[in-house]
Chain A
Amino acid sequence: MVKRKKIFRYDNVGILFVLPAFLYMLVFVGYPIARNIILSFQDVDAGNLVRGAKNFVLFENYIGLFQDGVFRTSLLNTLCYTVLCLFFQFVIGFALALFFNQRFSFAKPIRGLLLIPWMIPITVTALMFRLLFATDIGVLNYILRSLHLIQENVEWLTTPGTALFALVFANVWIGIPFNMILISTGLTTIPKELYESASMDGANKAKTFWHITLPLLRPTIESVLILGFIYTFKVYDLVYVMTGGGPVNSTHMLSTYSYKLSFEMFKYSKGSAVANVLLVILLIVGVFYIRVTTKEEE
């Protein structure tokens, strides 16, 4: 009897609750990651995927990557893309959230409608933007020409620099509603009394924003940015459909390059090395997030 009591102590029951999830994670998350890490230290390609010796080559794949121009470009692209997307999504999303937080007719239905870009499958969005940005038949060039902002059609998707811009533009469009909705929800948690007493003390709009809204929204903002970073950093479908990593490899991201190495060129080990670089960066961000949130709670 005594023993039984011990097993079902409150803390132990907690462990039992966590166990199914933990086992699931171990099999479906832990195992692929472990396999992937092992794979990245081997020399697996078409020749020895099924039979033949898989040799350990230590860091050869990783060293090779950093000497590989396309890898450096895709690392830089992924970082630029993420930072730019995050910045514009967040600023525009925040502004819209503040706007729709005002009480005016149809504020709520319109805010709901703005969620549509977030709900459309990304492949569809990507195809749509590919057409919008097309050189000769694209709507964007047509509008710019009609406004006399440009003389010649801009080759958005066939010039290295502008292709990345087009990707950022498309992803900002997709991501604004996500940022807006989360910040809107955060705004509703701020007690109205704070604003009332602030206005009695004579604080203007700007002051209440900097001293009430922003500090109280801090946890929300942190989650939005971190989640946004992770979602954006592992972008795949948008790039694959819109540019396929081109022109001349200029818009490859870590994810698309990893796919290309593994499944188009049969360089499985190199492909998994790229995937691991991506994983490590995301883990660093994750740990950073944990530090920030725990500090707050203390």
Chain B
Amino acid sequence: MKKKRMLALLVTLVMAVGLLVGCGAPKEEQDVGGGDTPDESGGAEAVTIWYYWETEGHQVALDKVIKDYNASQDKYEVTAKYVPFADFKKQLSIGASADELPDVAILDSPDHAAYVEMGIFEDLTGKFDVSNYYEGTVNSCTVDGKLYGVPFGANCLALYYNEDMLKAAECEVPSTWDELKTVAKALTKDNVTGLALCSVQNEEGTFNFTPWLWSTGATSYDIDNENGIRALTFIQDLVNEGVMSKECINWTQGDVMNQFISGNVAMMENGPWQIPTMQAEAPELNWKVTLLPKDSEYASVLGGENYAVIKGGNVEGALDFLTYSTSEAQVKYLMDKFGYISADKTIAEGQFEADSPYQPFVEELNYAMPRGPLADWPSVSDAISLAFNKVITGNATPEEAAAEAQATIDGIIK
């Protein structure tokens, strides 16, 4: 009897533990870390990189740069590993506590500060010349005046519009919120909604909402005021008046782009990385890009990734590779294949032809601000995304949502 009891208890434990494994035990796929163990084949030292780009074009481009680098010298052998975006933070966290990290991580810029606080990144102050980079990109990897990373590339959000639809409705390209609302209303008919922006309740949604918030003059940390409430009210009105679908709360930026190229959406907020896909999938579609319409000032949000060098790994090798990959020729190649804009101003300004669809993003970059940098940014971001999700679903008034978000944020930033 007792044995059976034990057995059943163990079975229950095994089933329950599936959930806990993620929190505690290291998984086998992470065993690529380590670093300075010599490679068996040529005696070259291994340098490992983690990244999260799922687009095939991105992976191929990074692969080519790595191959060229490996061929150019024989001291280091660089290998890269893809970790899905949804798992990236988890893997880095587990890797940090289990001491199984790569030598270089290419990570989302708003998360940079949190990992700096964890103490897993090498101080790179004075090792790279970033004086010519866009200020926002450098700020995203700077903590307490010290440089803990190198910007990989920059992107920001702007407004895409379907030119044919605008012409058919005899509308001008909107440049203010009022114009945007009027145009969106005119474009909404049958199966078409005027505007779409990704509003999922996570960092991706926050990324898409902050330009509207900042355009009013509100900051990420100061929402419960006239400005913050105006931004929330604007989004709520768009949804209530039917010119923006409520389903935006379930649409990722990729989903929004798909709705746009299928002709279900006339205008969308999105980033330049969608352009290669859009050109390939919908070559017939007539679209253009313009600055995001403004309330009181133009605003956009800075996105992109930073390189970071992991402390205790193969630092020398990592630095050597980064010096190579941030050189002008490599940056140009990568940015071109990625649909990104170089974080280096000089390269960015000569990167595109005047009539290129990317050019508006270069202009928008002047208005783009980074999120954070703040170690607790994920919590602030959560409060912001909860606020706009509440007003979109009609769960709270803009005033209530703003007050609630403010209370949470005040609790984080003491």
Chain B residues lying within 8 Å of A271, measured Cβ to Cβ, are 23
Shortest distance between the CB of A113 and any CB in chain B (Å): 28
Instruction: Kindly state whether residue A198 has any CB partner on chain B within 8 Å.
Output: no
Q: Which of B16, B117, B389 has the most CB of A within 10 A?
A: B16
Residue of B nearest to A245 (CB): B201
Chain A residues lying within 8 Å of B250, measured Cβ to Cβ, are 130, 157-158, 243, 246
Do A50 and B200 touch (CB < 8 A)?
Answer: no
Do A290 and B120 touch (CB < 8 A)?
Answer: no
Shortest distance between the CB of B150 and any CB in chain A (Å): 21
Instruction: Kindly state whether residue B169 has any CB partner on chain A within 8 Å.
Output: no
Do B16 and A282 touch (CB < 8 A)?
Answer: yes
Q: Which of A240-298 contact B (CB under 8 A)?
A: 243-249, 255, 258-259, 262-268, 271-272, 275, 278-279, 282-283, 285-287, 289-290, 293-294, 297-298
Listed stretches A24-32, A81-89, A142-150, A180-188; interface member: A24-32
Shortest distance between the CB of B193 and any CB in chain A (Å): 9
Do B375 and A46 touch (CB < 8 A)?
Answer: yes
How distant is the Cα of A267 from the Cα of B379 in the complex, in angstroms? 9
Number of interface residues of A (CB under 8 A): 61
Do B202 and A244 touch (CB < 8 A)?
Answer: yes
Residue of B nearest to A242 (CB): B250
Number of interface residues of B (CB under 8 A): 52
Contact string, B55-89, partner A, CB cutoff 8 A, digits 1/0?
A: 00000000000000000000000000000000001
**How many pairs, one residue from A and one from B, have CB atoms within 8 Å of each other in the complex?**
162
Given A50-B97, A247-B249, A268-B93, also A33-B200 (CB < 8 A): no
Given A35-B24, A50-B119, A134-B247, also A294-B5 (CB < 8 A): yes
Do B4 and A294 touch (CB < 8 A)?
Answer: yes
How distant is the Cα of A258 from the Cα of B23 in the complex, in angstroms? 9
How distant is the Cα of A21 from the Cα of B16 in the complex, in angstroms? 17
Given A46-B117, A290-B9, also A275-B19 (CB < 8 A): yes
Query: Which residues of B does A touch, CB under 8 Å?
Result: 1, 4-5, 8-25, 89-90, 93, 96-97, 114-115, 117-120, 191, 200-203, 245-247, 249-250, 375-376, 378-379, 382, 386, 389-390, 393, 395
Query: Which residues of A does B touch, CB under 8 Å?
Result: 25, 28-29, 31-33, 35-36, 39, 46-47, 49-52, 130, 134-136, 155, 157-160, 230-231, 234, 236, 243-249, 255, 258-259, 262-268, 271-272, 275, 278-279, 282-283, 285-287, 289-290, 293-294, 297-298
